[in-house]
């Protein structure tokens, strides 16, 4: 099966050789079907009642519209309310000239998973998709650059893009907003119609405006780890584990020669981790650098986020296979192909429970050993069990 990029660019090898990370490129009349997004109802993300506002951004004349204007309280069960998106109020924002952006919309529309996965498979880089809906003759966001590579896919309507020469003064790569007067004349001005694809290397200043019709487009963004970004993550992890006093400063304008004076201490810290077999510190760093995360189950995350000390649980659907006993207090277990260590009392209680049995938050915490409790808050430990589906939040008990 061809990847999103292969179908968007027509020739993956040529794109990687002559275009990627080098220059802006436009691809005309690309089949949305071939790119794997024709069967997805893109605008459905504007109709999710009670959706988490964190996914959404609303901008009018370059300024953010407070979420109170497009959310409301939703009654999720008797006596419990959450603040979530109000689709009617959200769409009303379009009528007053606001642009709506929905970040990580692949989590809300599983049909886009293949697009994200194909990017991650090729570049070993985190990828996500943002949907932008812009009313006719509105600009939306001020000129800015992003610290990510972007494929813009025009879905509906038309949009004019202005692009300036790449600005990469920040070695670690980050987003920066510009005053138009500081940029001068744009290097590229191009109109996109449905099926057109625009590639922008990271650090390309740009802005866009819908033309005579409203515009809907997807921004497929991904960020490869550079040497600078990787060192930044490692230095921050070193500070977190109290091995380094201050992280290396990667702010804009600092050159490698200036930062090199700070590197010896960092490399000494990494060496000490290896010598002392401090795999906790190394593991935390490796987790930060992991570029191919598993797809997130949004509905599960929402249930997990609502866990409280008054929650009631049942045994979940996650399969547990005990591999070995560790120090008589822990079991090394296989959970859906992942090797994890749990307190033995906890696993014994879960494996003996019938799926129809219910138990409370307190019941669960009592099965955790002191060392397990010391590793983090009780609430976080319960959330981990729920994410692994070893327990299910019982809604109707």
pLDDT in tens, 199-227: 999 889 999 999 988 999 999 999 876 66
pLDDT beyond 80 at 254: no
pLDDT of the residue at 77: 74
Band (pLDDT 50/70/90 cuts) for residue 129 is very high
Give 159's strand partners: 192, 210
Do residues 102 and 58 lie in contact, with contact meaning Cβ atoms separated by under 8 Å? no
Angle between helices 227-240 and 279-289 (to 10 degrees): 140
pLDDT, mean of residues 122-130: 86
Band (pLDDT 50/70/90 cuts) for residue 171 is very low
Sheet of 330-335, strands arranged across: 320-326, 330-335, 338-343
**First and final C-alpha spacing in the chain:** 45
pTM of the model as a whole: 0.62
pLDDT tens, position by position, 156-170? 999 999 999 887 655
Is pLDDT larger for residue 203 or for residue 334? 203
**Pairwise CA distance, residues 273 & 356, whole Å:** 46
Question: Is the domain 4-223 a CATH 3.90.1150.10 member?
Answer: no
Band (pLDDT 50/70/90 cuts) for residue 286 is low
pLDDT of the residue at 188: 94
DSSP three-state, residue 143: coil
Angle between helices 298-305 and 378-387 (to 10 degrees): 160
pLDDT of the residue at 257: 64
Do residues 8 and 151 lie in contact, with contact meaning Cβ atoms separated by under 8 Å? yes
Token pair for 373: 């409790």
pLDDT beyond 50 at 243: yes
Band (pLDDT 50/70/90 cuts) for residue 252 is low
**Pairwise CA distance, residues 37 & 44, whole Å:** 13
Do residues 173 and 252 lie in contact, with contact meaning Cβ atoms separated by under 8 Å? no
Is pLDDT larger for residue 277 or for residue 186? 186
pLDDT of the residue at 153: 96
Do residues 75 and 81 lie in contact, with contact meaning Cβ atoms separated by under 8 Å? yes
Alpha-carbon dihedral sign for residues 344, 349, 355, 360: negative
DSSP tag of 294: P
Domain ranges in the chain are 4-223, 227-289, 298-393
DSSP tag of 25: E
pLDDT tens, position by position, 133-155? 999 999 878 899 888 899 999 99
For all residues of the chain together, what is the average pLDDT?
81
Among 105-109, 139-143, 185-189, which range has the highest average pLDDT? 185-189
pLDDT, mean of residues 241-269: 65
pLDDT of the residue at 293: 43
Is pLDDT larger for residue 83 or for residue 2? 83
Q: Burial code of 80-107, b = ≥16 C-beta within 10 A, e = fewer?
A: eeeebbbbeebeebbeebbbbbbbbbbb
pLDDT of the residue at 152: 97
Per DSSP, helices labelled H in the chain are 4-9, 12-14, 87-95, 113-123, 227-240, 256-260, 263-275, 279-289, 298-305, 344-352, 361-366, 370-374, 378-387
Nearest to 44 by CA among 114, 118, 102, 97: 102
């Amino acid at each position: 099966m061809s990847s999103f990029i292969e179908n968007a660019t027509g020739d993956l090898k040529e794109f990687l050789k002559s275009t990627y990370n080098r220059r802006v490129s436009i691809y005309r009349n690309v089949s949305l079907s071939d790119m794997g997004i024709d069967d997805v109802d893109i605008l459905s993300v504007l109709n999710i009642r009670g959706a988490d506002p964190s996914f959404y951004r609303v901008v009018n004349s370059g300024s953010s519209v407070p979420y109170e204007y497009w959310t409301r309280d939703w009654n999720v069960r008797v006596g419990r309310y959450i603040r979530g998106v109000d689709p009617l109020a959200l769409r009303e924002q379009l009528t007053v000239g606001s642009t709506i952006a929905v970040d990580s919309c692949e989590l809300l529309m599983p049909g886009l998973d293949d697009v994200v996965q194909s990017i991650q498979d090729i570049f070993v880089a985190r990828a996500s998709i943002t949907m932008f809906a812009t009313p006719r003759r509105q600009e939306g966001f001020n000129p800015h650059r992003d610290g990510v590579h972007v494929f813009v896919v025009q879905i509906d309507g038309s949009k004019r893009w202005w692009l300036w020469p790449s600005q990469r003064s920040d070695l670690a790569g980050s987003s920066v907003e510009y005053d138009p007067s500081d940029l001068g004349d744009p290097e590229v001005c191009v109109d996109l119609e449905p099926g057109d694809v625009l590639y922008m290397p990271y650090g390309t200043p740009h802005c866009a405006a819908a033309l005579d019709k409203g515009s809907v487009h997807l921004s497929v963004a991904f960020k490869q780890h550079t040497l600078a970004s990787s060192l930044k993550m490692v230095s921050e992890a070193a500070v977190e584990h109290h091995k380094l006093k201050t992280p290396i400063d990667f702010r804009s304008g600092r050159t490698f020669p200036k930062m090199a004076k700070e590197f010896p201490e960092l490399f000494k810290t990494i060496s000490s981790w290896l010598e002392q077999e401090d795999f906790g510190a190394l593991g935390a760093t490796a987790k930060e650098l992991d570029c191919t995360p598993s797809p997130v189950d949004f509905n599960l995350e929402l249930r997990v986020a609502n866990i409280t000390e008054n929650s009631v649980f049942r045994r979940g659907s996650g399969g547990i296979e005990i591999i070995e006993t560790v120090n008589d207090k822990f079991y090394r277990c296989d959970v859906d192909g992942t090797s994890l260590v749990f307190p033995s009392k906890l696993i014994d209680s879960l494996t003996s429970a019938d799926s129809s049995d219910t138990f409370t938050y307190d019941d669960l915490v009592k099965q955790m050993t002191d060392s397990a409790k010391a590793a983090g808050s009780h609430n976080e430990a319960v959330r981990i069990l729920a994410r692994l589906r070893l327990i299910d939040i019982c809604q109707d008990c």
